[in-house]
Amino acid sequence: MTDQQPARHRAQMPEGTEAVLNTRTLQNAHKRLAELVVPGMAVLDVGCGTGAITRGIAEAAGPAGRVVGLDVNEGLIEQARNLHGDVPGLTFEVGDVDALPYHAEFDIVTAARVLQWLAEPHQALNNMAAATRVGGRVVALDYNHEKAVWTPEPPPTMQVFYAAFLHWRSECGMDNAIADHLAGMFKDVGLRDVQTSAQHESTTEGDADFQTRMEIWQHVAQTRGLQMVEDGFIPEVTRRVAERDYREWCEFEAESQTLYLLCVEGVRDENSIGRD
């Protein structure tokens, strides 16, 4: 096994991720946040990617609002500006959750499917809380990858790949079950009135976007899988065969998939900063 880069760097999106990110909207990919955003709000979207969800936030906040999309990946921010830069009140910035340049500025600070890629999510939450005004909300949406369910089970080759994927993530310091740990983490950093809502992503054969949703793991095999090969967690032949078998299974056998996803929110008060 080769030496691992810090998991902090794993949060950067591999090539090809843009197509997946651009299928997401505020309404279909962050439903709880869609309920929280009202006109005139200031919102920071951490790890905004190509800005598809961020655009929806800005449209909900309206021209009187202020919405900032932040991502460490300069290429994604460039795409976000090109795609959504004409939306009133919306700006995109290159930046890192480990060094947020904001203090008590936003009504909501959100991170969707981001904390799962960090080795130090507690510190990220602290920084997100610091960027939130007193009385504002921190909102995080993330997975428990250990609770994904497929019917029928994927092919054995893909099951081997998925087990290696979880192992790779764990060895890099990422929490495979972070969704179920978020509420405790919110309390650890001093956020109050912590609430959790289930946002599980389910799709069944016959849904209009069934194949698109099922193909997420084919995409993982094509992108994260290459990182796993480079890092020595699986041979390239294992990755390649798993990708092929999974693609065929999606086309001819797959019936349903449920990805376990939780949204956790908490309110900042004057004591919500600097706690372990």
pLDDT at res. 12: 42
CATH of the domain at 253: 3.40.50.150
- For residue 276, is it within any domain? no
| Confidence at 23, pLDDT banded by 50, 70, 90 | confident
- For residue 168, is it within any domain? yes
76: helix, strand or coil? helix
Per the CB < 8 A criterion, the answer to whether 272 and 193 are in contact is: no
Tokens of 162: 């998925």
Percent of the chain with pLDDT over 90: 84
pLDDT at res. 272: 62
Q: Region 32-40: what's the mean pLDDT?
A: 98
- For residue 275, is it within any domain? no
pLDDT digits (tens, 9 = 90+) for 203-227: 999 999 899 889 899 999 999 999 9
What's the mean per-residue pLDDT of the chain? 91
Per the CB < 8 A criterion, the answer to whether 46 and 113 are in contact is: no
pLDDT at res. 20: 60
pLDDT at res. 17: 56
More confident residue, 186 or 10: 186
Domain that holds residue 63: 8-267
- For residue 137, is it within any domain? yes
Q: Is the pLDDT of residue 10 over 70?
A: no
Q: Is the pLDDT of residue 91 over 80?
A: yes
AA identity, residue 275: R
- For residue 171, is it within any domain? yes
pLDDT at res. 18: 60
Tally of domains within the chain? 1
pLDDT at res. 25: 87
Measured from the Cβ of residue 187, the count of other Cβ atoms closer than 10 Å reads: 13
More confident residue, 56 or 8: 56
Residue whose C-alpha is closest to residue 261's, from 161, 169, 148: 148
CA–CA dist 265, 46 (Å, integer): 14
Task: Measure Cα distances from 104 to 9, 27, 62, 70, 273 in Å.
Answer: 26, 27, 21, 16, 11
Note the pTM of the prediction, 2 decimals.
Answer: 0.90
pLDDT at res. 209: 87
